[in-house]
Structure 1
């Protein structure tokens, strides 16, 4: 009996094959999915059109226009309310600024919205504000051209009204308060920034803007320590358009020690200043000229007329005393002229005080000490004058030289408050780059931390002191981070000893023979040097311990762009010879680390050998001296940084020393040797056009150095003594 197969539930027509039926089913499924796709696409389009109609544009506010046509035909904005929000004098960044409005859309950068330019009028069409000045126009333009600007208020966390409040004398405070309160995103002033330069008005001239700004931040050029809300407001300079007339710097001797050029000084201060000027012939006091009192580009002393501000180029110090307002354009003009400001104003808050270290550029005295100003200034060294002048001119150029720079600096400060993790460091704000560009066109860059695995190469310069050389090799070969030793054999009259005569060392040793006996050979970029770190050694430094070498290498790894080493020296100004003096006595300053025992990056060998300015390299080789000073000049000029002295050791004595300076031995030609080293500094400074050496007052010691702890807790136990 045959088995019956189960019958399918599908019934086929007599004239249709099973294959044709399956093909029809596939077509039906395809049509179904195509229809579903069309329906979904249609639904998506309908929803998109609906959302676009409901929200016609993302930027609900009109964008700002700063062209001439838009400024001449402003739209009227009627202020209906008479309400305003009083200024909150106790505001801080944490209580009055809503940081949560700073969206993550611009990571690490605030969004700044600028209100449209309109003409604010009351219900009777009477203007409440004045037309904007050129300075305020340039401020707004700087903001809208900056990376912070956004035309969308929903993306902004800082709002800038387009009401010109730079000079309080031009406004009616009550009317402006009403106009501010009517702004659509005002929110009682939160997250708003009000730009002002000259606060106060006659007769009191209060050191704050007398306008109701609610919880808004304010800038001002005349804050006092009582009205400045630290960390919230931003103190800015009083802008002087005359400063731009000062082209170049007078780097030579200046005729006047002190210049007082402020007009309208308070009578009490003027009497003291006039008395000092009568006693000191290098004190120049200038006033407005009675013959032409409206000409701001001239100043007079009695009947003598001087061009202003060009006269400031001939002054070493410029006096700035308190006037009717705390802030004065004298500060900006003095910095531009390289005339060091001497500020005599007890409560004046200097511009950008939260980021700029003003001690490096200006001198400040109490008002009660005004009569002592000449005694104070006569004690300032020429070295400090040069550095303060350079620092002041750099501050002016970078932060003050235009309205645009003042505006952008203000925004950077606010941005750093909101995003402190991405903010600038003290060095970013206050350390000017070297005066000269790097000696090659390539960008000078070193890694933040060279790899420890490479270790360092010890490059030992030697001539014929074999006994001390072998002691040095045995000593440094115990350092775990030592990768290789390269001997620079500088004696062309004598061959190096045979390989059997050398001590057995745990590290590779290579000998490089030079063609001439020149000190610069130690800084040649030999191909045998394969590590980034070089330990330059003389052949008689036999006293350094393994821990000292290892610690010195660790310090260099953290500061690979500096010379890091052990013997330190400094330079001082010699008033008798009117030149620089090389100093080997123990002082509180270090400006050079000698390369008889020092770490540095191998890239400096290339600079020394092929890009040393002038004839310094040839002069060093001809005189067989000062190659270490030349290397310190080179590194300081390239980086603008001082070397780092490591560990307390100051004495480097050995049995066979001949370098009187480095090893502090009692030789009869010590004075002549020191004189020659001083001549090197002065010669190199003339070639560079300046003295690039930087002084510091610290050295690097291990963290637990001299701590009363067992040696087992200390990583570097044998750091040595003096």
Structure 2
């Protein structure tokens, strides 16, 4: 029996009858075809009618349901066939995280929501390629250079990419930039949009991306290296430093953005966060509804949008690293700073409600968790600690 014939039978809602000893059914490595088909040895061809008549009617109905589900889940389109093939390959490469027999063959245990770990993200990316730091900047040259200087000390840094978001002013001359040992590229944008920080630039060749603002001058190289090491363990998460929380306001009957220091976290700000570059593609080309336009029009909430996107795809909470409480740039006190705008916090709550409406759900997950280095609080000599320069409360 040809493979296409089997698919035609499945599409018709019938139970395939296989009468070829050497025939290998599609995806038989993971699919239990005994649940959805009848296999009759060639030597018993004369008994085919008797064998089929002996199958109880209830069993036939169960096999029909399984065959119909096989068709819908694994064969109904080229995309379904391709994704099934890739999932099998992924299971071979990472057998300890592979789908179980029941997940492949039992519809009742499969989660058909959008919440799934992205297929192509490795469980533990290799250490050697390092990460690309993407620094969004507009016109704060002094703090930008300080950020670049500190980031350049991180052992795993592979490349620095500065996203120049000011169309009315040229970047400093090349001779004025800090001297670093990794490639440094300045990309000039065509419009001043916050979403530019998440564009999938060709210059990003590493899997890991560190999104960082030009005013985050307080993070040490140890804190950044530790954040990267944590991300390597959880490459499908947002791993960041400033934590935030969303709360339900019972009086107002809507969601509220909370920036005060609490034990609970549901977001990490992408002003300083690691993530997989795959999410740049999703943010730029697959963000639901008009969220991207909303972000760019309001010049706010691109970080909240990214948290929504990652949480909706993975069903997982972000990971906050290091205990540092405040993230403030003492020199960055310009009146026109976004975070100093009185409407900024109000808009943040509006963003959460807007995004929840577009997604049709509240994907953000609340956790009480923070990742700290081993021996962080222990009274040991600093030379015994892998990350001694970690900021305190």
Q: TM-score, normalised to structure 1's length?
A: 0.39
1:691 pairs with 2:362? yes
Structure 2 Cα separation of the partners of residues 487 and 555 of structure 1 = 24
CA deviation vs aligned residue, 1:142-182 (integer Å, no higher than 9, x gap): 89x99xxxxxxxxxxxxxxxxxxxxxxxxxxxxxxxxxxxx
Shift of 1:657: 3.2
Deviation at 1:421, TM superposition (A): 12
1:565 matches 2:240: yes
Match of 2:74 in 1: none
Residues 549-588 of structure 1: per-residue CA shift (max 9 Å, x gap): 1110000001001100101101000011100000011122
Find the aligned partners of 2:332 and 2:318 in 1 and give their Cα distance.
25
2-side partners of 1:701 and 1:659: how far apart?
Answer: 33
1:192-591 alignment runs, 5 A limit? 433=111, 435-436=113-114, 444-591=119-266
Q: Distance in 2 between matches of 1:496 and 1:564?
A: 30
Q: Confirm or deny: 8 A CA contact 1:520 1:620 kept in the other structure.
A: yes
Cα 1:605–1:710 change in 2 (3 A) is same
Question: How many angstroms apart in 2 are the aligned matches of 1:506 and 1:422?
Answer: 40
Q: Would you say the 8 A contact 2:268–2:307 is kept in 1?
A: yes
Seen in structure 2, the aligned counterparts of structure 1 residues 421 and 565 have a Cα distance that, compared at 3 Å, is: closer
Question: Which SS does the other structure have where 1:604 is aligned?
Answer: helix
Query: Contact conserved, 1:433 with 1:640, CA < 8 A, in 2?
Result: no
Larger RCO, structures 1/2 (Cα 8 Å, 6+ apart): 2
Tell me the alpha carbon deviations over residues 680-702 of structure 1, each in whole angstroms, 9 at most, x when there is no partner. Answer: 00000001111111111111111
Alignment correspondent of 2:28:
none
Answer whether contact 1:434 1:639 (CA < 8 A) is retained. no
- Could you tell me which residue of structure 1 aligns to residue 275 of structure 2? 600
Q: Secondary structure at the match of 1:600?
A: strand
> Which residue matches 2:77?
none
Deviations 1:461-493 (A, max 9, x none): 000100000000000000000001000000000
Q: CA deviation at 1:443?
A: 6.7
- CA deviation vs aligned residue, 1:319-352 (integer Å, no higher than 9, x gap): xxxxxxxxxxxxxxxxxxxxxxxxxxxxxxxxxx
In 2: Cα distance, 1:695 partner to 1:484 partner: 33
Q: Following the alignment from structure 1 to structure 2, what is the Cα–Cα distance between the partners of residues 462 and 652?
A: 17
Residues 1:618 and 2:293 aligned together = yes
Task: State the secondary structure of the residue aligned to 1:677.
Answer: helix
1:434 Cα shift?
7.5
Call closer, same or farther: CA 1:552–1:421 in 2, change over 3 Å. closer
Q: Deviations over 1:269-292 (max 9, x none)?
A: xxxxxxxxxxxxxxxxxxxxxxxx
SS of equivalent residue, structure 2 residue 128? helix
Structure 1 moving runs of 4+ over 4 Å: 420-424, 431-434
Change beyond 3 A, Cα 1:607–1:574: same
Secondary structure of residue in 1 paired with 2:310: helix
Cα distance in 2 for residues equivalent to 1:471 and 1:432? 49
Cα pair distance change 1:709/1:530, threshold 3 Å: same
Shift of residue 445, structure 1, vs aligned partner: 2.6
Write the distance in 1 (CA, Å) between the matches of 2:377 and 2:231.
22
Q: Max radius of gyration: which structure?
A: 1
**Quick one: distance in 2 between partners of 1:538 and 1:434?**
37
User: Residues 582 and 560 (structure 1 numbering): CA distance in 2 closer, same or farther, change over 3 Å?
Assistant: same
Question: Which of the residues 688, 702, 706 maps onto 2:373?
Answer: 702
Give the distance between the partners of 2:154 and 2:254, measured in 1 at CA: 42
DSSP-derived class of the 1:529 partner: coil
Equivalent in the alignment of 2:308? 633
Would you say the 8 A contact 1:571–1:582 is kept in 2?
yes
**Residue 716 of structure 1: aligned partner:** 387
> How much does 1:435 deviate?
3.3
Secondary structure of the corresponding residue to residue 527 of structure 1: coil
Kept in 1: contact 2:115–2:314 (CA 8 A):
no
CA distance, structure 1, for counterparts of residue 322 and residue 270 of structure 2: 15
The CA deviation at 1:506 is 1.9
Q: TM-score, normalised by structure 2?
A: 0.71
Work out the CA distance in 2 between the residues paired with 1:541 and 1:465: 11
Return the offset for 1:718: 1.1
Question: Do 1:536 and 1:599's aligned partners in 2 also have CA atoms closer than 8 Å?
Answer: yes
- The answer to whether 1:673 aligns with 2:344 is yes
Cα deviations by residue, 1:216-251 (Å, 9 ceiling, x for unpaired): xxxxxxxxxxxxxxxxxxxxxxxxxxxxxxxxxxxx
**Residues 17-166 of structure 1: pairs in structure 2 closer than 5 A:** none
In the TM superposition, residue 499 of structure 1 has moved relative to its aligned partner by 0.6
How many Å apart are 1:448 and its aligned residue?
1.0
- CA offset at residue 422 of structure 1? 9.7
The answer to whether the 8 Å contact 2:215/2:329 transfers is: yes
The alpha-carbon deviation at position 712 of structure 1 amounts to: 2.2
SS at 1:556 equivalent: helix
Aligned length: 308
Query: For the Cα contact (< 8 Å) 1:433–1:639, is it kept in 2?
Result: no
In 1: Cα distance, 2:132 partner to 2:202 partner:
12
- Equivalent runs, 1:654-669 vs 2, <5 Å: 654-657=329-332, 667=340, 669=341
- Please list every run of 5 or more consecutive structure 2 residues that lacks an aligned counterpart in the other structure: 1-56, 67-95
Mark the CA change 1:422 to 1:693 in structure 2 (over 3 Å): closer, same or farther: closer
Counterpart-to-counterpart distance in 1, 2:110 and 2:349? 27
Mapped to 2, the partners of 1:486 and 1:433 lie a distance apart of 38
- Give the secondary structure class of the aligned counterpart of 1:447: coil
Gaps of 5+ in 1: 1-136, 147-419
Aligned pair in 2 of structure 1 residues 432, 142: CA closer, same or farther (>3 Å)? closer
